[in-house]
Structure 1
């Protein structure tokens, strides 16, 4: 039986009853209910226990501001710490209270109330220091007043991430947000409007107002219909904008989006402009026992009556310091709920407010000093604020309204400033730091018509149009006189209901020297946790201001951090299926490679590259051998376009390169290059590549394909943090150049046959040099650099010219037996030569000396990144894995990653095989490995252990199986 359900009214569907359980008891509600409204309809007043003292608590709010009743959802909905006011009721929902055992009615943790005087704010900082915090940590974690994380992910679906760009993002679809969207949408802007409610309308869903002479919700319906018909407007329901990052980058999580199997979707939105139409949050009042079940925010009471058709009580007292509570009293009376009295702390009540509640008793200049009751409110004591005789009023509902706080959380996250407004007795948005502005109640426009006008002006400002006329929307004028605490209160006076923070706690923090509001927050935990101070923060600021005798602006507010409301980890880490977010990257030759029957691989950084080019009926190894032999004996060509390439220029470019590379780059002459290693701060190899000087202040640098993005981030991080006064500009040009690399002893002949104005003789064009000219009639940059150990010419052209260049290369090379070369053959060639590969020999544990590359560690430079770290590590004298060559005996393939162990026995590994290939130069299997003290073990035998206790002996050699002096690549 829903004994507290009103016989009519509300936006619920009374034809669709829903069954649910709460703390093991079965109840029914209706479609459109929240868990909170359904519990109130069923007369459930005691719903929770408080975080610290385990005091009885009930439902306080009606939305995300709810500080007291957190629940854990069970079954397929499993999730913890959900405000009951934000949980939509559905058939079979199962929920239970958190922080109580075995139930809110009988909670063994309530014994904490007996020791309340001994556990004031900050006691844990002092009490649990000796002898060791970790002795107490397990028990404290068990006693924490929040639900445990679900043991398994939700069974009913998954999470998703999407990215979006918008000219205008509007947070909130109340009257101001809808009006702003309407104006901007009509002007043609791409608008995204996100609202955390089940349906748009904001506060209009809970109030009885009119716009333009018709019910306000009719205006909402017409506006939403027009917006949804616009192709340039995206309206998200159940979507909370919970984080505002730099450069107008915002996080929006959409709950239960309209897609089968999808639980939540998180949007990452880059906006040209942002309007925060987030409304305002009612704050409570501070008096004795103001946390008793039955003490609720007046706006929440109004919402339950008008929106959900629920009577939160049968005899109500309203305690307020502002005019908005009078509309609540009128709505309660209209719903048949007895209003015993309106307690107004102000010395004067506007005539307009009195006229809204004809016949209802008003106590002007009175305050509630104490609420009475244990598990449910029974009465309140009221008294003149200036002093006088107290009176007890029986009631089961106390609706409190301490005024309204504009929801400035998002604006504050954007790093905008806040200013205190004496008229509203709250903080308002001040100067913006990004392209953002506030509208409606979030900007201090508390009356409906003012909110509509504010939204229209904000939308028009962004769109660059004239704001339209605002429709008439009569509303009670808002006026407030702040009341930060009732001086004659008896009992605990709570400022932050979620964290059990009292006035006494704040006074204690101030006495102990925590004089700023940020320090008070940390000492008392006020405004922390899921609540983020939505209902209590301004009262904390007011309490500090009263105690210190300073203005509110001088105290300020704490920092509002993301997330604005709780967000599930699943939504934060949601994925998107398919290649849409990370598509393959293609070179201009992808289509040609596929047409030639290439087996395509995904290479580093998602490039699609040919692995090998098999002929009909040809095995993979045969194709690899054929391609590798062509390079060693004749000529081959491969597409080197994916290689990471950067242009670096600026006054300090030379010393920047000396800083990030182990070798000296600043001494290079124009048109020459040098191989270099980049180290991480801890002295391990980060990347390798070549660097060529174009002119006095301009350079071209290459990186490995898969590490290109990381190298770019590394350079930019240095320039934006450590080296901010250096004049250096880094431009990624990987996609601006495409290259065909001719390699092999006949490469010079093929290039000459193509036709070029560059002198190709070894004297005029030596190894590690660069020339600009024309090749096959196309403008090109030719670089003599080798990744195969053979004579090589890297011909760089604009991407649009590569297909034509490639066709001409294949034609010119045909008489010389040219073959296209895939990544598999390139791997064979580099292993034969002993060239390094990230992820193989460079495994994140080695430094240049381990790889026999001490020659690349400059002794001329006083410093470079990683130098000191290498010296410190090597000074320890510990055994190191060092690069060696291996020759299997017998001649068999060895799997990469296979361990090297003493005698092949099951003992601690001495190292591992990094690569093993069928060498066309040696006509046998050869490989590379990292081996303990390997440099001193050339000529020894080691052993590889395989599955099934199989052991293969390998002979240790120098890590170069071909042309150790490099004569061929310099030819």
Structure 2
């Protein structure tokens, strides 16, 4: 199946194409309004399709022909309006030949002409095959030319079912009417007598008999007899389809005259017509449709007055009369179903009342009534009536459940449309992607990004290539694409105060031209993200975040400014796509920059550790940051995205005598493990500052997000899992990420005492090393533990060490 989403706009959206909908659409269309007419059926006409009147069929086809001839009218067959959102925006799910098209339509006005749904009666074994709604029998007869074999029983408490009885009799079927009321309308009695229909007043259905199909109906009341029949057509009245009118929060009200709920009101620009409004009758529907259409086009500011509608030449509507049977009296022994899809019976309603589930919302959830695909369209009113009777309440007091979109079941595919796979989460590429692709790079998916994994100058597999790339950085100089880092421009008079509240460490007094590593917590006291922020001027800061948290970090900052600290004069803007960056790392990195930027002072004095400076180069601004993710002397070079590739190539050419080459993500990640830097695998929104060994960073005097909750007892428990370094003691074995950690004396089962977060081969130590989280952390330093990998039934011995495997004093960083 193919799914797609289409956005549209119109002046008038008409829901339903019965007589009210056709009239409304044609009236608005004649006035020149942009009209969309949505009909869930494959054909337009609504209730008209189930009538055999030649006059009505001619009226329907004439109206449709005129609508199809109007260029300003769009007809949507097989299209169900699923929901009303945000004023006058509606979603319309249209079935197509090979899938579904979801229309998202913003209409200036909406006319709901969705008709009404017939209700069943409640009696024993009312789910037997052959028991049908009276309107369904009429539809089979007139629309599909299908009739019962010989005999039918029509059970009703209202006048509408007589049209089915008359149609059956005219088709040669013997008909008996079980009339719940004592005195049916006189004209109906006369017409029934003329057609040879037997009417039993004050009579209901006691039971049905039959094996795989209906064979007999037992009546109760004044006429307690058994009647052989092929079909039982039942009608318990009609419920206006008020669902769409309630999606905006306006609850329906109960109308005693029709024994049903009707719309409780309308927002501006919303209207209803015909049976959806509780006005039953063809001429009433036509009048309603024309009236509300004229109101809608007036509201749209359309001055043209449309021609009046031609009224079908039929007799005047007869008043809708209904007599409501007491629901509790219908709950006789046997399975009397209210919800035919979820098999909810009258006894279930009684039991819910006994158990105290009196509210209609509680009743729904206790019994699952109305939770199937029809969402209670046929069953809910009977259930509400039963519960109201058991509680001694009126129907208005009992109320309805809350109606929510979608109106009918909707596939997830329809909601997604084409937004699946790469179309849902588009592939992101750095400004250097094309250069990398052309220069022997193998890529890897890292979240939404395609990142440089390794380069073929170092090897043909990641296992061999990253080791050579690491050796290059440790002994010479390499260059890596770090454009995927989140980059946020923070500006304003209160920028320093803002960052001082966001980060756990102080930023208020950070000097201009300096960078600082910072950690931010969420309001639960858990680490949200880390990164470096540089002060460019007194009122401007340049923040970098991890690649994974770039979007969430930006959203967090905006949320704080818009919802909590509205008094701060600060603006934030994402530069992640506007700027790119590269890391130049290794003992020879300063020499490389001196060759690339001979006019810039990148000495220890000119650009000390954690120093920042902007330089002019090649007609653009280049930002030099002396930062290190590798643990070596290193710099980051940032510039506008369209200048990244030329600058990258310039540095490679200028520093070629030093043997500079690019290195990829695998080597970059391995270098940071050797240095003991935490990254995404450790920053998983479950760990605190203290878990990651960063507790000493937190300022004691200033307030910051998460300050109080990070000190809660559970977060300070001495046996929490916290960061440790791990060395493999069995070089002939392999150390695997996500292995479960156990003490040497533990039984190897369960969740253990921690797990490995990151693992690599160390070119410095010539062994496998890892970072992990272990219960009690570094107080177990020097102990031997076990790492178990149950998927391969492997166990290896490890030693707990400091997570900083190289250069613990930081001499290389400050070289």
How is 1:879-894 mapped onto 2 (pairs within 5 angstroms)?
A: 880-886=721-727, 890=731, 894=735
Verify: 1:560 aligned to 2:394, yes or no.
no
Shift of 1:243: 5.8
CA contact (8 A) 2:170 2:195 kept: no
Unmatched segments (≥5 aa) in structure 1: 1-158, 260-264, 384-389
- C-alpha distance 284-213 of structure 1, shift in aligned 2 (>3 A): closer
Corresponding residue to 1:736 among 578, 587, 590: 578
Output the CA distance in 1 between the equivalents of 2:442 and 2:758.
21
Corresponding residue to 1:964 among 797, 808, 813: 808
Partner of 1:856: 697
How is 1:384-403 mapped onto 2 (pairs within 5 angstroms)?
A: 396=229, 399-403=233-237
Shift of 1:180: 7.7
- C-alpha distance 281-837 of structure 1, shift in aligned 2 (>3 A): same
Output the CA distance in 2 between the equivalents of 1:217 and 1:751.
80
Output the CA distance in 1 between the equivalents of 2:743 and 2:779.
16
Partner of 1:412: 246
Partner of 1:371: 205
Verify: 1:607 aligned to 2:441, yes or no.
no
How is 1:310-349 mapped onto 2 (pairs within 5 angstroms)?
A: 310-312=146-148, 314-316=150-152, 324-340=160-176
Partner of 1:917: 760
Verify: 1:689 aligned to 2:531, yes or no.
yes
Verify: 1:449 aligned to 2:314, yes or no.
no
Shift of 1:368: 3.6
Partner of 2:325: 485
> Deviations 1:574-606 (Å, cap 9, x if unpaired)?
998753333321122211110111011111x22
Corresponding residue to 2:143 among 307, 331, 338: 307
CA contact (8 A) 2:180 2:323 kept: no
CA contact (8 A) 2:16 2:115 kept: no
Output the CA distance in 1 between the equivalents of 2:477 and 2:132.
84
Shift of 1:331: 2.6
CA contact (8 A) 1:425 1:480 kept: no
CA contact (8 A) 1:885 1:960 kept: no
> Deviations 1:3-41 (Å, cap 9, x if unpaired)?
xxxxxxxxxxxxxxxxxxxxxxxxxxxxxxxxxxxxxxx
Verify: 1:281 aligned to 2:112, yes or no.
no
CA contact (8 A) 1:613 1:821 kept: yes
CA contact (8 A) 2:5 2:418 kept: no
Corresponding residue to 2:376 among 533, 555, 567: 533
Corresponding residue to 2:440 among 597, 602, 606: 597
Shift of 1:179: 7.8
Verify: 1:584 aligned to 2:436, yes or no.
no
Output the CA distance in 2 between the equivalents of 1:278 and 1:835.
64
Output the CA distance in 2 between the equivalents of 1:910 and 1:697.
47
CA contact (8 A) 1:884 1:928 kept: yes
Cα RMSD (Å): 5.5
Output the CA distance in 1 between the equivalents of 2:759 and 2:146.
75
SS of residue matched to 2:164: helix
Partner of 1:878: 719
Shift of 1:836: 1.2
Output the CA distance in 1 between the equivalents of 2:37 and 2:669.
49
CA contact (8 A) 1:884 1:959 kept: yes
CA contact (8 A) 1:501 1:525 kept: no
Output the CA distance in 2 between the equivalents of 1:512 and 1:885.
58
Output the CA distance in 2 between the equivalents of 1:467 and 1:768.
74
Q: After alignment, is 394-403 or 812-821 more displaced?
A: 394-403
- C-alpha distance 185-463 of structure 1, shift in aligned 2 (>3 A): farther
SS of residue matched to 2:436: helix
SS of residue matched to 2:422: coil
- C-alpha distance 515-756 of structure 1, shift in aligned 2 (>3 A): farther
Unmatched segments (≥5 aa) in structure 2: none
How is 1:789-804 mapped onto 2 (pairs within 5 angstroms)?
A: 789-804=631-646
Corresponding residue to 1:663 among 505, 508, 512: 505
Shift of 1:776: 2.8
Output the CA distance in 1 between the equivalents of 2:47 and 2:263.
20
> Deviations 1:602-636 (Å, cap 9, x if unpaired)?
11x22111111113976655643443344344443
Output the CA distance in 1 between the equivalents of 2:122 and 2:756.
74
How is 1:248-259 mapped onto 2 (pairs within 5 angstroms)?
A: 258-259=97-98
Verify: 1:297 aligned to 2:158, yes or no.
no
- C-alpha distance 241-667 of structure 1, shift in aligned 2 (>3 A): farther
CA contact (8 A) 2:175 2:197 kept: no
Verify: 1:868 aligned to 2:713, yes or no.
no
Partner of 2:672: 830
Q: What count of residue pairs does the alignment treat as equivalent?
A: 791
Shift of 1:830: 0.9
- C-alpha distance 300-584 of structure 1, shift in aligned 2 (>3 A): same
For normalisation by structure 1, the TM-score amounts to 0.65
- C-alpha distance 695-300 of structure 1, shift in aligned 2 (>3 A): farther
CA contact (8 A) 2:20 2:286 kept: no
- C-alpha distance 685-219 of structure 1, shift in aligned 2 (>3 A): same
Output the CA distance in 2 between the equivalents of 1:894 and 1:321.
77
Output the CA distance in 1 between the equivalents of 2:179 and 2:459.
94
SS of residue matched to 2:583: strand
SS of residue matched to 2:194: coil
Q: After alignment, is 876-885 or 186-195 more displaced?
A: 186-195
- C-alpha distance 162-292 of structure 1, shift in aligned 2 (>3 A): closer
CA contact (8 A) 2:477 2:659 kept: yes
- C-alpha distance 436-857 of structure 1, shift in aligned 2 (>3 A): farther
Verify: 1:638 aligned to 2:473, yes or no.
no
CA contact (8 A) 2:757 2:773 kept: yes
Q: After alignment, is 797-806 or 842-851 more displaced?
A: 842-851
For normalisation by structure 2, the TM-score amounts to 0.76
Output the CA distance in 2 between the equivalents of 1:163 and 1:330.
45
CA contact (8 A) 1:251 1:266 kept: no
Partner of 1:203: 47
Corresponding residue to 1:704 among 541, 546, 552: 546
Shift of 1:833: 1.3
Output the CA distance in 2 between the equivalents of 1:810 and 1:233.
60
Output the CA distance in 2 between the equivalents of 1:774 and 1:759.
12
Output the CA distance in 1 between the equivalents of 2:268 and 2:769.
60
CA contact (8 A) 2:92 2:105 kept: no
> Deviations 1:398-421 (Å, cap 9, x if unpaired)?
645454322122442343443456
SS of residue matched to 1:851: coil
> Deviations 1:708-754 (Å, cap 9, x if unpaired)?
44545666777888889999876544223322333345545555665
Output the CA distance in 1 between the equivalents of 2:494 and 2:410.
45
Output the CA distance in 2 between the equivalents of 1:845 and 1:395.
70
- C-alpha distance 528-872 of structure 1, shift in aligned 2 (>3 A): same
Partner of 2:651: 809
Output the CA distance in 2 between the equivalents of 1:705 and 1:895.
24
